[in-house]
Amino acid sequence: MELGCRVLAGLLVLLGLWGLSAAEPVKFKDCGSESGNLTTVDITACTSLPCQLHKGKTYGVNVTFVSFTASETSKAVVHGIMAGVPLPFTLPNDDGCKSGIQCPIRKGQQYNYINSLAIKEEYPSVKLVVQWQLKDDKSRDIFCWEIPVEISS
C-alpha cells in the first residue's frame, strides 16, 4: 500500500512538471510591480504575441518573481483591457498562497506563482490586453504584467 502511494505521488509530480514544461516564456510588459521583480512569465501554448487563446480551453500561467516585501497574504487580480477599459476575468483561485506560493511571503525570496485562466465559450472573439496582478497584504502590486492576446473560437 505504501509503495503504491509513493508511485502515485511520483506520477503526480511528473505530470505537474510536464505541465509546467509545456508553458512557454513570453515577452511581457511590467505594468507597475511595486513590491517585486518579475523574472519570467510562462503561458501554456503561447509561442508568439499576441497569444492565441481559444474559447473552451484553459491556459496554465507560471510567473517567477522575487519579492521585495514580506506579506502574510497575496491575491491575484486579472483584467482584460479593451479600449482602455479593464474588464474582470474570473480565476478558479485568486489566493496566491494557494497558487504555488508558500505564505508568508518573505522579502528577497524567489517564488513561482502558478494558476490557470479559462477562456469561456461566451467570451467574444476579440483582441485585448491581459493584465495580471498579484497584490500583497497592503494591496500593493508584488507583480503586474500585461500581454496582448487574441481570443478566438
Does the pLDDT of residue 37 top 90, yes or no? yes
Q: Where are the domains of the chain?
A: 2-152
The dihedrals phi and psi of 105, each to the nearest 5 degrees, come to: -75, 135
Q: Which of 39, 78, 84, 33 is nearest to 59 (CA)?
A: 78
Query: Could you tell me the pLDDT band of residue 24, with boundaries at 50, 70 and 90?
Result: low
With a cut of 60, say whether residue 78 has pLDDT above it. yes
Q: How confident is the model at residue 10 (pLDDT cuts 50, 70, 90)?
A: very low
CATH architecture, domain 2-152: Sandwich (2.60)
Between 112 and 23, where is the model more confident? 112
Interacting residues of 99 by C-beta distance below 8 A, sequence separation 6+? 76, 93, 113, 114, 115
Rounded CA gap, 121 and 135, in Å?
28
Question: Which cell numbers in the block locate residue 110?
Answer: 524567489
Q: Is the pLDDT of residue 18 over 80?
A: no
C-alpha cell at 65: 518573481
Percent of the chain with pLDDT over 70: 84
Residue 105, classified by CB atoms within 10 Å of its CB into exposed (0-12), middle (13-18) or buried (19+), is buried
SS3 label, residue 13: helix
> 0.75 exceeded by the pTM?
yes
